[in-house]
Amino acid sequence: MKKSAIFLKGLIKENPVLVLLLGTCPTLATTTSVISAIAMGLAATAVLVCSNMVISALRNIIPDKVRIPCYIVVIAGFVSVVQMLMQAYLPDLYDMLGVYLALIVVNCIILGRAEMFARKNGVVDSALDGLGMGLGFTIALLLMATFREVVGAGTFAGIEIPLLKTYNIPILVASPGGFFAFGCIIALVAKLTNKPKEKMGCAGCPSAEACGKLGCTKEEKEENVNA
Amino acid sequence: MKLNVKSVVVLTSICVVVSALLSVTNFFTAPVIEENKAAAASASLTVVMPDAEGFEEIELPADAPATVLNLYKETSGLGYVALLATTSQYSSGDMGITVAIGADGCISGVTLTSYFESKDFGSDYPQTYVGADSALNGIDTVSGVTYSSTAFKEAILDAFDVLINSGAVAEGEKSEEQLILEAIPVALPGCADSLGSAQVEAIDAKGFVAAYAATNGCGYVVAAATDAGTVVCGINAFGDVNCVDLEGNPAEGPVDEVKAAFPILAEANAENNLKQAQKAAGDDAVLTALDSVPAYGCVTGGFTAQVGEDTYYVFNTKPYGYANEIMEMAVVLDADGKIVNYRTVSELILHEEYYSSHELTDKEAYKNQFVGLDSSTYSDDVTMVAGATCTANAVADSINSAFDAYKAVKGAN
């Protein structure tokens, strides 16, 4: 696969949030404001790139048996580093993200990319995959947060928007509004990407190719589509 | 086996490398984080002292009250800022207070940083403290939110205590009215609620400096001018008088004038007292009202009860319970001062929620545990019920007042 394709697939085609539906918890929690969404997205991107690179570099050393604990230690290490750096140099954002910053450790996008991509590909490819997926995550958060903050609170990045400040829908910044916005944006992305209807199950999974298990190779996938 | 060893080595190595990475990061970020925290703390201090140039923390003395968490000195000499945390009796969490006390000993700013009580005393209340010195002259608690406002006031006084004891600021001078009000619970302890505040109403002074009636009917208090200065005299329900000076020390007072000026409440309420005492002592008891009981608790009436050849003492008491509701009890003591019967005229617990969640579901069992106790064997631990503190305090006040009255009667005889 071309380097550009590896990078670009995370943005829309395999967007971790809007297509793979991973990382829903931080997506719903941190998209009440644009600032916190961007901060969360970039923090997760930094961890994703670094952990992908390290895991890729160590892929031939880490025994299969202990790979998950190894991945978790690496990811937790990078998350802690990001946490300390943010607490030191971006304390306001650190306070804004609160517990969700530490919870990046268990963000399934990061462990998912380590397991699905980094352990099977080289360092550069893994870094590009991490960057693409991270930016895809950030874009998804930004979209969600823009919708929720503008329509729900009448502000964008804290800047008041005339008229909307008075006439807004506060429930959008609450949890139910988060689910509503999430559903709307997923539907919109599915419509815009105009995905062909595929069979349900493994063959229909956007990650089928990367997964390579359960009869989901590219060839088998094509067979399933043609059947 | 070889694979297991490799797994252990690899995982351990990764852990070591990650730990090293974290150590290095921590080495560089920890001082910055500390600076950030100090700056944030300083920012909260400037809220109450906006003109401050900077703050340095002062070490608290070993005997500092627990309510005083941190004390800061303003570097240009404007004064001090104290971070306080206190709990009122019913709050679910700490009440956080930041108070600025100027170098002149007066409060220059105060703010409430956290407050968990459901009944709020309002945002204006803390601002009434601005400008006050340690005497807190003219600042009272808030009616209906007594516990919270008292806790607030006590916390502020704790901050003053630490600063005054360390010589940082001078003590404020209390007005005579304040000193009189503070001396009232000393002169007539029966009129004080469980927080020690006098529950009195100002009445016609009848030629004295001031006069008050205890709301529970245990007596009156007057402030009288004497050659030695103002004294505060408590008159109990039997007409006995106890005088103290404004420092709370025993003092000579115009006893006869005071006695003559006020009615004897035990006589005025004789009918109700007799009725309740009779119920507590039993129908067989022949009751005789006591003339003099030189004790100053919440006793409102007293009788000797003759049952056959045995003599008992019955004391009507009216302590303050939950929300300072006046409770009514009768305590029967035998000739040796042991409790024979404890009767509650009003509901023992005024609020039903306590019945379901606390030990007082069986009121009779609770009261029966007092039987046989005298002043030497009784302690307030017997009456204490967690979660029903006010009522338990009232019961304790009632029993202690009865013991004091018994001793006074026996001593007088």
At residue B397, the pLDDT reads 92
Diameter of chain A by CA atoms? 59
At residue A139, the pLDDT reads 93
Q: Do B22 and A77 touch (CB under 8 A)?
A: yes
- The domain boundary, picked from B262, B295, B314, lies at B262
Q: Is residue A224 included in any domain, yes or no?
A: no
- The domain boundary, picked from B105, B134, B165, lies at B165
Q: In sequence order, what are the residues at sequence separation of 6 or more whose Cβ sits closer than 8 angstroms to the Cβ of residue B133?
A: B104, B105, B106, B107, B171, B172, B173
Task: Note whether B1 contacts A: Cβ–Cβ < 8 A.
Answer: no
Q: Does B404 lie in the same domain as B313?
A: yes
Q: Is residue B13 included in any domain, yes or no?
A: no
**CA–CA gap between residue A189 and residue A209 (Å, rounded):** 21
Q: Does B83 lie in the same domain as B121?
A: yes
List the alpha helices (DSSP H) in A14-122. Answer: 24-30, 34-57, 67-89, 91-97, 99-102, 108-116
B320: nearest Cα among B408, B412, B390, B369: B390
Q: In degrees rounded to 5, what are phi and psi of residue B69? A: -85, -50
Region B72-81: what's the mean pLDDT? 91
**CA–CA gap between residue A196 and residue A192 (Å, rounded):** 12
* Beta-sheet strand order (sheet of B286-289): B286-289, B299-307, B310-317, B329-333, B339-344
Q: Do B10 and A70 touch (CB under 8 A)?
A: yes
Q: Does B141 lie in the same domain as B64?
A: yes
Residues of B in contact with A70 (CB under 8 A): 10-11, 14
B121: nearest Cα among B94, B150, B96, B97: B150
Q: A5 vs chain B: nearest CA distance in angstroms?
A: 31
Q: Does B257 lie in the same domain as B319?
A: no
Q: Is residue B17 included in any domain, yes or no?
A: no
Of A70, A87, A89, the CB nearest to B11: A70
Measure the CA dihedral B211/B216/B218/B220, to 10°. 0
* Beta-sheet strand order (sheet of B229-236): B200-203, B210-214, B219-226, B229-236, B241-245
Q: Is the pLDDT of residue B356 over 50?
A: no
At residue B36, the pLDDT reads 85
Q: Is residue A30 included in any domain, yes or no?
A: yes
At residue A202, the pLDDT reads 67
Test mutation, A70, A82, A85, A119, chain B, max B CBs within 10 A: A70
pLDDT digits (tens, 9 = 90+) for B7-63: 899 999 999 999 999 999 999 999 998 888 877 777 778 888 998 888 888 888 888
Q: Does B380 lie in the same domain as B246?
A: no
A148 neighbors A31 (Cβ within 8 angstroms): yes
Region B271-289: what's the mean pLDDT? 91
What is each CA distance from B256 to B57, B204, B217, B235, B241, in whole angstroms? 56, 18, 21, 11, 9
Q: Is residue B119 included in any domain, yes or no?
A: yes
Burial (Cβ within 10 Å: 0-12, 13-18, ≥19) of residue B143:
exposed
A100 neighbors A29 (Cβ within 8 angstroms): yes
More confident residue, B392 or B358: B392
More confident residue, B271 or B4: B271
**CA–CA gap between residue B313 and residue B299 (Å, rounded):** 12
Q: Is residue B297 included in any domain, yes or no?
A: yes
Q: Is the pLDDT of residue B5 over 80?
A: yes
Task: Note whether B32 contacts A: Cβ–Cβ < 8 A.
Answer: yes
Q: Does B306 lie in the same domain as B227?
A: no
Of A65, A70, A85, the CB nearest to B29: A85
Lowest mean pLDDT among B18-22, B45-49, B114-118, B387-391: B114-118
Most confident of A16-30, B295-309, B376-390: B295-309
β-partners of residue B322 are: none
B52 neighbors B46 (Cβ within 8 angstroms): yes
pLDDT bucket at B355, cuts 50 / 70 / 90: very low
Query: Helices A34-57 & A123-153, crossing angle to 10 degrees?
Result: 170
pLDDT digits (tens, 9 = 90+) for B314-338: 999 999 887 788 888 899 999 999 9
* Residues spanned by the domain of B388: 269-412
Q: Does B313 lie in the same domain as B194?
A: no
**What is the pTM (predicted TM-score) of this model?**
0.55
Residues of A in contact with B14 (CB under 8 A): 58, 62, 70, 73-74
At residue B80, the pLDDT reads 93
Query: Per the structure, how many domains does chain B have?
Result: 3
Most confident of A96-100, B21-25, B92-96, B228-232: B21-25
Q: Does B324 lie in the same domain as B249?
A: no
Residues of A in contact with B38 (CB under 8 A): none
Q: Does B236 lie in the same domain as B125?
A: no
Q: Is residue A129 included in any domain, yes or no?
A: yes
Q: Is the pLDDT of residue B245 over 80?
A: yes
B218 neighbors B190 (Cβ within 8 angstroms): yes
Query: Per the structure, how many domains does chain A have?
Result: 1
B136 neighbors B156 (Cβ within 8 angstroms): yes
* Residues spanned by the domain of A12: 3-196
Q: Is residue B22 included in any domain, yes or no?
A: no
Q: Is residue A37 included in any domain, yes or no?
A: yes
Q: Does B316 lie in the same domain as B408?
A: yes
**CA–CA gap between residue B111 and residue A92 (Å, rounded):** 23
Region B350-364: what's the mean pLDDT? 53
Ranges in chain A, pLDDT < 70: 1, 194-227
Q: Do A66 and B18 touch (CB under 8 A)?
A: no
Measure the CA dihedral A44/A50/A53/A54, to 10°. -120
Q: Does B222 lie in the same domain as B203?
A: yes
B297: nearest Cα among B281, B314, B319, B264: B319
Q: How is residue B327 annotated by DSSP?
A: P
What is the number of helices (H) and of strands (E) in chain B? 11, 15
Q: Is the pLDDT of residue B213 over 80?
A: yes
B77: left (phi over 0), alpha (psi -120 to 50) or beta: left
Q: Does B71 lie in the same domain as B128?
A: yes
At residue B193, the pLDDT reads 86
